[in-house]
Amino acid sequence: MADRSLRGMRLGAQSLQSEEGVVFSPRATYTYRCATCGRDTDMVFSAEAEAPEAWECKFCSHEATLMVGSEPVVIDHSDAKTPRSHWDMLLERRTRAELEELLEERLQYLRARRGTQKIGA
């Protein structure tokens, strides 16, 4: 009975589709050099795609720069905005004198609520 059992294949283990007649899109390899660890990372992109100027280094996770020939691409960070803090945004709306006045009013209110109002103030 064991010799007559049907043999099947494992589901999901092997594909029944072959690569015959498949045409892969053209590819281009770009090299990125990490300034931190000094290693090169090769990345493959579609030939139609524009390669980014920076890529994460796969060895140390810092920023690696695209190499054109033997020179790194100069990345222009001039358009990058510096983040504004809450204090910066507050100073856009009020002057320091106005803020000092508001602070003093609020402190007087809080002291009066707690019953610790300064005498003579």
> Tens digits of per-residue pLDDT, 66-88?
998 888 888 777 777 888 899 99
CA distance 86 to 64: 32
Q: What is the mean pLDDT of residues 82-97?
A: 92
CB neighbours of residue 30 within 10 Å:
16
pLDDT (tens digit, 9 = 90+) per residue, 7-18? Answer: 666 666 677 777
